[in-house]
Amino acid sequence: MMKLYYEAHTCALASHIALEDAGAEYSIQRISFAAHEQRTPEYLAINPKGRVPALITERGILTETPAMLAFIAQSFPTARLAPLDDPFGFAEVQAFNSYLCATLHVAHAHRMRGTRWADDPAAIEAMKRKVPDSVGACYELIENKMLRGPWVMGDSYTICDPYLFTVAQWLEGDGIDSSRFPKVGNHRQRMAERPAVRKAVAEELA
Amino acid sequence: MMKLYYEAHTCALASHIALEDAGAEYSIQRISFAAHEQRTPEYLAINPKGRVPALITERGILTETPAMLAFIAQSFPTARLAPLDDPFGFAEVQAFNSYLCATLHVAHAHRMRGTRWADDPAAIEAMKRKVPDSVGACYELIENKMLRGPWVMGDSYTICDPYLFTVAQWLEGDGIDSSRFPKVGNHRQRMAERPAVRKAVAEELA
């Protein structure tokens, strides 16, 4: 049985939803950031990066949301969470998820995690000020160029959908008027109604 | 025939090497950052992100290095550039590449691309100052926890190897004493001797 290490309100929710979508047997364990549990020797032995998510599998430990999502899709092929037999379609899924991970999530992280990239308190404040612009620019691209509708990849639900839903939970906190992005908002609402999403969200906030 | 849009000294080199490794038929086209060609309407029609790399395929355009590398590996299975029939092994490859993309490359980008995340000139200087620390911390993890040797994933060469080689070219520019990381240095040297790497590097610098 797999085990997902998560913290509420983080990108770990994407893998959590995907595990539900896949019908996987899994357990979850919260890593409290407030208690700095991601920095304990026990957790660093699981994930030396000191971050969530991490997924314990029969074969070993996986980290990095795009890799975990693709692993879940490939491990549960009957759930049809990605176009597994089509390298181009699979690459489109991966390109979307890579953009969320390396551009959107990174832009967002400058609001709360600025110390990763600068030590000067004024610089950290300057980073926070730019988050609505930098994250907003990501959503402009997603709304206008990337989100096909009704799902991210069009008619087929894929591992892109729980990931977009997850990062979209941060829109208001990032100071963005989410009404600017009606396609993203519509996607978010339809995702929120799915039983797998409701279950995963409820478990994380329990 | 595929076409790779690149700029010299960027992460596009990873896909360029992988195309060589795969024995793919492809052409390359340089996008001059000095001439701001990544911002022309023509290039933005290819890649609305205004970045390199982009890969034109028979089916459409792909972006994002981890996605492109996996696509190349899956499209040329006889080149054995990833454990394609093993979801866990494939996920390990993807987790490594995702780390390079979303953590190491991002840390590095704070040296030259700070305007993505702050507007204040002093903040941009503060970001530059932290690059040796933040990028160095990534290499600590790679050296001690991630690079198995002789190749990233151990005995088998994979799409992780051209990506690590590519980002390792930036070590000195990022103000890091590369002698701190002998395994990375050894990997870099063995990569530099491979004919595919020599050809790709020579083409980009021609």
For residue range A89-107, what is the model confidence (pLDDT) as tens digits? Answer: 999 999 999 999 999 999 9
Q: Please state, in angstroms and rounded to a whole number, the distance separating the CA atoms of residues B57 and B67.
A: 13
pLDDT of the residue at B101? 98
Chain A residues near residue B95 by CB distance under 8 angstroms = 62-64, 67-68
pLDDT of the residue at A134? 98
CA B81, chain centre distance (Å): 15
pLDDT of the residue at B206? 87
Q: Does B105 touch chain A (CB under 8 A)?
A: yes
3-state percent helix, strand, coil for chain A, nearest multiple of 5? 60, 10, 35
Chain A residues near residue B112 by CB distance under 8 angstroms = none
Q: Please state, in angstroms and rounded to a whole number, the distance separating the CA atoms of residues A160 and B183.
A: 35
Residue position matching structure tokens 């839903």:
A165
SS3 B26: strand
Residue of B nearest to A130 (CA): B118
Tell me what the mean pLDDT of segment A42-64 comes to: 97
pLDDT tens digit sequence for B150-187? 999 999 999 999 999 999 999 999 999 999 999 999 99
pLDDT of the residue at B16? 98
Q: Does B139 touch chain A (CB under 8 A)?
A: no
**Does residue B131 register a pLDDT over 90?**
yes
Chain B residues near residue A68 by CB distance under 8 angstroms = 91, 95
pLDDT tens digit sequence for B34-92? 999 999 999 999 999 999 999 999 999 999 999 999 999 999 999 999 999 999 999 99
Average pLDDT over chain A reads 98
Q: Please state, in angstroms and rounded to a whole number, the distance separating the CA atoms of residues B193 and A42.
A: 40
Residue of B nearest to A70 (CA): B91
Structure tokens at B196: 């595919």
Q: Does B44 touch chain A (CB under 8 A)?
A: no
Q: Does B155 touch chain A (CB under 8 A)?
A: no
Residue to substitute from A4, A84, A94, A142, interface B, most B β-carbons within 10 A? A94
Q: Does B75 touch chain A (CB under 8 A)?
A: yes
> Kindly report the CA angle at A96 between A92 and A99, in degrees rounded to 5?
135
pLDDT of the residue at B59? 97
Which pLDDT band, with edges at 50, 70 and 90, does A206 fall under?
confident
For B102, the closest of A94, A106, A134 (CB atoms) is A106
CA B167, chain centre distance (Å): 6
Q: Does A117 touch chain B (CB under 8 A)?
A: yes
> Kindly report the CA angle at B63 between B72 and B68, in degrees rounded to 5?
15
Residue to substitute from B51, B97, B98, interface A, most A β-carbons within 10 A? B98
Structure tokens at B4: 């790779």
Chain B residues near residue A97 by CB distance under 8 angstroms = 67
- Of B117, B114, B90, B104, whose CA–CA distance to B171 is shortest? B104
pLDDT tens digit sequence for A135-186? 999 999 999 999 999 999 999 999 999 999 999 999 999 999 999 999 999 9
Tell me what the mean pLDDT of segment B92-99 comes to: 98
How much of chain B, in percent, has pLDDT values that exceed 90? 100
Residue to substitute from B94, B100, B124, B163, interface A, most A β-carbons within 10 A? B94
Q: Do A91 and B110 touch (CB under 8 A)?
A: no
pLDDT of the residue at B119? 98
The DSSP H or E segment spanning A2 is: strand A2-6
Structure tokens at A125: 């404040």
For the question of an ipTM over 0.95, the answer is yes
pLDDT of the residue at B129? 98
For A91, the closest of B49, B68, B110 (CB atoms) is B68
Shortest Cα–Cα distance, B83 to chain A (Å):
12
Structure tokens at A87: 């390298």
pLDDT of the residue at B108? 98
Tell me what the mean pLDDT of segment B139-145 comes to: 98
Q: Does A40 touch chain B (CB under 8 A)?
A: no
Q: Do A145 and B48 touch (CB under 8 A)?
A: yes
